[in-house]
A and B are shown apart, each in its own frame.
Chain A
Amino acid sequence: MQANMRLRAAAGCSRAAITPSVRPGPIARHAVLAQSAAKKKELFMWEALREAMDEEMERDPTVLVIGEDVGHYGGSYKATLGLHKKYGDMRVLDTPICENGFMGMGIGASMTGLRPIIEGMNMGFLLLAFNQISNNCGMLHYTSGGQYKTPVVIRGPGGVGKQLGAEHSQRLESYFQSIPGVQLVAVSTVRNSKALLKAAIRSDNPIIFFEHVLLYNLKAEVGDSDEVQCLEKAEMVRTGTDVSIFTYSRMRYVVMQAVAELEKQGYNPEVIDLISLKPFDMETISKSVKKTRRVIIVEECMKTGGIGASLSAVINESLFNELDHQVVRLSSQDVPTSYAYELEAATIVQSSQVVEAVQLMCGPALVPA
């Protein structure tokens, strides 16, 4: 648990660094677009997340950060670097190693008027906080008959990194998705990471906020202090006609890498970043399915019980007559993530698999490039 994950992830990120030309996601009815025409400086994703927290903590004195090494250490992934100097030790609270305890403490604080951002140093560690996340975070607004709300943001890095071993490579979104009363959000770009975190902090619902361990060193422009992004809306990454590819988090880049290849072969896929893993944005999803009539889900979750399993079921149930092909899921294999590079790579979805799936599903491209 105490491995210096920050250095590993930074080193490993270069292998996965892909900065495709993605369109910024549509900002829905509850967001405000930045209007400035001047070129903004670029930030790393960890800086963008930090800027989000800094802005929200400045705006609202009831916002605080709780977690292991978030304060003096600056955060294992630097997402809170320097914030303790500005806000003090109580607003950037270094905790002992007791996830269930400090998760519950944060939830109790949120019931009584504060708005904590609770960091899991790695999302996998939140397995230890499952009791609190399920019973108190998710359910408490309901069991109290609406008397107490739990406006927490539970955030941290998850996903498969570079040879971090099985326990540091987990995808907890699939474990948490059944908990009633929580929203699950997965960020993917520098811009959406900041805008979504701001929205999550302002939300009165508990938001489980998935960052990816390999995306922290992406660099791009961010929105200004007013830009928040709708937590329930998916992002259109690339419009197309042949097939709808639904994905999220780092797999967005794997998909776009495949798209670069597919475009050469004459395919025209539509790529949608789910953003909201729970609830699903059925407007964006259904519009796309009705247009392309083919669906591939590309995720890093295990096949069994993953986000893709839920999405596939929903599409099957509500859009059956819009489909020309069964929904295809590209997911990680139901295997603990190996340490060895080759085995790790074989566990997760690679871009070549995405290319192959589109080829199989769509047949030969109608219009060669």
Chain B
Amino acid sequence: MMMSHTQLPASGAGRRAANGRPSRCPLRVRAVAAVPKLATKAVAPSSYTNLTPEVAKDLYYDMLLGRDFEDMCAQMYYRGKMFGFVHLYSGQEAVSTGFIRAMRPMDSVCSTYRDHVHALSKGVPAREIMAELFGKKTGCCRGQGGSMHMFSAKHNVLGGYAFIGEGIPIGLGSAFQSKYAKDILGQEGDYDVTASFFGDGTCNVGQFYECLNMATLYKLPHIFVVENNLWAIGMSHQRATAGTSGDVEPHIYKKGPAFGMPGVHVDGMDVLKVREVALEAIARARRGEGPTLIECETYRYRGHSLADPDELRSKEEKAKYAARDPIPQLRAFMLSNGLASEAEIKAIDKKVADEVEDSVQFAEESPKPERGQLLENVFADPRGFGIAENGQYRYELPGFSSGTAAVS
């Protein structure tokens, strides 16, 4: 029995209209809400795409890494090792893992301030992220970005953005480059795909709509991933967003078709369902069929940030989602379907714990940035600092990098 959480046609290729001519309609995906009652035990691994033991264990490892890492961040924050605004992803791991582990290294990811786990899923070493959070110069951004600005050019993590919505155009630009590289510059192969992750609150920001329009208009290989955790700090989704016509509830995925792309809703607490939707959307984009809007129903177990007292969310709501924790779900599924043994799972648990411990140790032992680092990355070309009185470029003056020479 095929459990369809969406009604995606098997493949875009070879669809024909009734008269036998190739259908020109874009893929029509009718979104179907997740059916949480269906126990994962009832679904065999074979109903999922290529769900081998290796893939399943990788999914488990990645979600656990995200969870343990964020738990460690909370500890370190309260111990005074990291500061400022720190927004943890705990509870949402199925979305990051389900999508990003289905992507290729040359694909790109763009996020918001809740970005630690997206970076981890994409392959940025935990050490580099923890060191960044500790403000050390060995951090992925040399300590200059911090929690809300995780970047990795090596792993195609485009950031880390503090203002919600401002990352989506960046993700779109990456998708544009991918299309340009192939269509104009003649790059071989299929399109590299970009996925931008953002929340329910972002779906009221103008840039979101500007980008939905351009993504379809230019048919860009971009995936809009909405992590609807029902709350934007203290604004519940229902209070911030008007319902779509004929509905009481607001439905973000229904806005996709209004902008010419499929809108899909998925249970974001189930990594296997997320992965199925992700694989289809990624394949669509790679084939050049354009963008998809995917709304993942998910939940953050912690407050908006570590400074949030989190008083508005009800105990009942939290308990309901705690019961749907994606990690025990997957663990149970793997065990009952022979995808992993207890011993293997324990080994992964230990591996993750060690990795997180190591990241803290690395961050602790790493040096802080020196004063001379202050001016190094303001410009890609340091001639941008201008010409000094003596005719030299400022950056050439002795003492410039330690801030003793004039900087303006």
Contact = CB atoms under 8 A, between A and B. Distances in A.
Interface of A: 61-62, 64, 88, 90-91, 93, 95-96, 98, 100-114, 131-132, 135-136, 140-151, 180-181, 183, 203-205, 231-233, 276, 278-284, 286, 314, 318
Contacts of A104: 166, 168-170, 172-173, 207
B381 A143 contact: no
A107 B393 contact: no
B6 interface: no
| Residue among A93, A131, A144 with the highest chain B CB neighbour number at 10 A | A144
B169 A143 contact: no
B152 interface: yes
A95 B406 CA distance: 41
Nearest to B139: A145
| Residue among A100, A103, A104 with the highest chain B CB neighbour number at 10 A | A104
A142 B218 CA distance: 30
Interface string B335-352: 000000000000000000
A204 B171 CA distance: 20
A95 B172 CA distance: 13
B169 A102 contact: yes
A141 B377 CA distance: 6
A96 B151 contact: no
Interface stretch (B21-29, B155-163, B265-273, B316-324): B155-163
A345 to B, nearest CB: 34
B173 A98 contact: no
* Contact-residue size bin, chain B (C-beta under 8 Å from the other chain): 35 or more
B163 A203 contact: no
Given A61-B184, A205-B379, A205-B384, A143 B173 contact: no
A240 B4 CA distance: 81
Given A108-B172, A143-B141, A144-B151, A61 B159 contact: no
B376 interface: yes
Given A108-B171, A131-B163, A145-B141, A96 B384 contact: no
28 contacts: A90-B179, A90-B180, A91-B184, A98-B213, A98-B214, A101-B169, A101-B210, A105-B173, A105-B211, A108-B177, A109-B173, A109-B174, A111-B170, A112-B177, A114-B177, A131-B166, A135-B163, A135-B166, A142-B144, A142-B378, A144-B141, A145-B151, A148-B159, A151-B380, A232-B387, A233-B387, A283-B387, A318-B389
B46 interface: no
B176 interface: yes
Nearest to B393: A232
Given A111-B158, A232-B386, A283-B389, A145 B377 contact: yes
B55 interface: no
Given A101-B214, A142-B377, A205-B380, A112 B108 contact: yes
A102 B141 CA distance: 26
Contacts of B170: 104-105, 107-108, 111, 136
Contact of A108 (B144, B158, B391): B158
B87 interface: no
B160 to A, nearest CB: 7
A154 B136 CA distance: 34
Contact of B378 (A93, A101, A180, A284): A180
Contacts of B390: 283
B104 interface: no
Contacts of B314: none
Nearest to B213: A96
B379 A141 contact: yes
Contacts of A88: 184
Given A131-B163, A232-B393, A96 B214 contact: yes
B214 A282 contact: no
Contacts of A278: 386
Given A112-B177, A148-B151, 17 more contacts: A98-B214, A105-B169, A108-B158, A108-B172, A111-B173, A141-B378, A142-B378, A143-B141, A143-B145, A143-B149, A143-B160, A146-B380, A147-B153, A279-B408, A281-B386, A281-B387, A284-B387
A101 B211 contact: yes
B174 A112 contact: yes
A276 B383 CA distance: 12
Contact of A276 (B181, B379, B386): B386
Contacts of B388: 282-283
B15 interface: no
B378 A110 contact: no
| Residue among A103, A106, A140, A143 with the highest chain B CB neighbour number at 10 A | A143
Nearest to B175: A108
B180 A279 contact: no
B217 interface: yes
Contact of B377 (A112, A146, A151, A233): A146
